[in-house]
């Protein structure tokens, strides 16, 4: 084989290799493997099933926008206070500044902060709803999350609407210090007025719901709903074990454990949530119609 023939041969092998790699990458984007049962599914199969594994019913993480699409009547969502954005009141810096983290999160998620609030319809029943998004700094509760939820609750009270909050959070946002902790009392106070007006409030706990969110509005619902096998906690498992010097059950801090011990009222799969919310809201219809 001459030098020119050898070079042509090597070039053809390289081209075949690159084509093969591209095909593999393209195929990987089309298929999703379940983290729990390792079931391999076409990505559209997962999307059409509300990001719930059709084999083992594992609930994949999902965005606030997906939840809006899953829950509400088509094109009925009306955003509230969508332009509110956190500042950096403490000038907080760790590996990078808090202001830079906020900027990065806005670019990555397309959101201004960790919650979307609005008014929408579920089978023609109008509701006020807040949906937390774990993609934005772990769904942490800062001053904007507190302000948006408080304004939402006040709007629901003035319009006499049922209120639903979907929780997904790591807790209070440490970069805002005491300001983030103040939101617990602020939101709870608005919820008290909503309850005094005899209006229903449902919370939906998704995985994870932890920290200051669990310690405040997540557990104040007239009806507390949870997704299956969601992590719901205040302190971390290891912290509790080290404090009480005992081993905890394997299913500790799951929806099922909390249901057995009376902390939540019902566990509903994401695939059934829209229909079940309609049925539950219908039971309360006399209070807001």
Q: Is the pLDDT of residue 21 over 80?
A: no
Structure-model confidence comparison of residues 97 and 23, the more confident one: 97
Q: Which two tokens stand for residue 191?
A: 């919820």
How many C-beta atoms surround the C-beta of residue 105 within 10 A?
Answer: 20
Cα-Cα-Cα-Cα dihedral sign, residues 45, 50, 53, 55: negative
CA-based nearest residue to 126, from 279, 288, 18, 268: 288
pLDDT digits (tens, 9 = 90+) for 135-151: 999 999 999 999 999 99
pLDDT digits (tens, 9 = 90+) for 203-241: 999 999 999 999 999 999 999 999 999 999 999 999 999
Tell me whether residue 167 is annotated as binding: no
Q: Is 113 helix (H, G, I), strand (E, B) or coil?
A: coil
- DSSP per position, 202-230: EEEEEEEE-HHHHTTGGG--SEEEE-TT-
Q: How confident is the model at residue 288 (pLDDT cuts 50, 70, 90)?
A: confident
Tell me whether residue 56 is annotated as binding: yes
Q: How confident is the model at residue 8 (pLDDT cuts 50, 70, 90)?
A: low
Q: Is the pLDDT of residue 15 over 90?
A: no
Q: Is the pLDDT of residue 289 over 80?
A: no
Say what the pTM is. 0.89
Taken as a whole, the chain contains a residue count of 289
The structural domains of the chain, ordered by start, are: 59-287 (3.90.226.10)
Residue written as tokens 């912290």? 239
Tell me whether residue 129 is annotated as binding: no
């Amino acid at each position: 084989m001459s030098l020119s023939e050898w070079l042509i041969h090597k070039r053809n092998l390289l081209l075949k290799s690159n084509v093969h790699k591209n095909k593999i990458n393209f195929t990987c984007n089309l298929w999703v493997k379940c983290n729990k049962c390792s079931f391999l599914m076409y990505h559209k199969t997962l999307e059409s099933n509300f990001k719930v594994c059709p084999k083992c019913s594992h609930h994949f993480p999902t965005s606030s926008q997906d939840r809006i699409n899953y829950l509400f009547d088509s094109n009925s969502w009306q955003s509230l206070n969508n332009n509110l954005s956190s500042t950096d009141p403490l000038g907080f810096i760790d590996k990078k500044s808090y202001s830079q983290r906020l900027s990065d999160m806005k670019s990555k998620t397309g959101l201004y902060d960790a919650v979307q609030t609005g008014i929408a319809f579920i089978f023609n029943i109008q509701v006020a709803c807040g949906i937390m998004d774990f993609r934005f700094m772990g769904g942490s509760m800062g001053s904007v999350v507190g302000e948006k939820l408080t304004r939402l609750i006040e709007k629901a009270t003035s319009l006499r609407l049922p209120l639903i909050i979907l929780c997904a959070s790591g807790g209070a946002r440490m970069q805002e210090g005491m300001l983030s902790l103040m939101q617990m009392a602020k939101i709870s106070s608005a919820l008290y007025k909503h309850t005094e007006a005899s209006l229903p409030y449902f919370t939906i706990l998704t995985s994870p719901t932890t920290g200051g969110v669990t310690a405040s509005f997540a557990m104040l619902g007239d009806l507390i709903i949870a997704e299956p096998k969601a992590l719901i906690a205040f302190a971390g498992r290891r912290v509790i074990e080290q404090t009480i010097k005992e081993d905890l059950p394997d299913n500790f801090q799951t929806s099922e454990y909390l249901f057995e011990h009376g902390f939540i009222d019902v566990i509903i799969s994401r695939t059934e949530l829209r229909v079940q919310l309609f049925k539950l809201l219908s039971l309360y219809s006399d209070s807001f119609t």
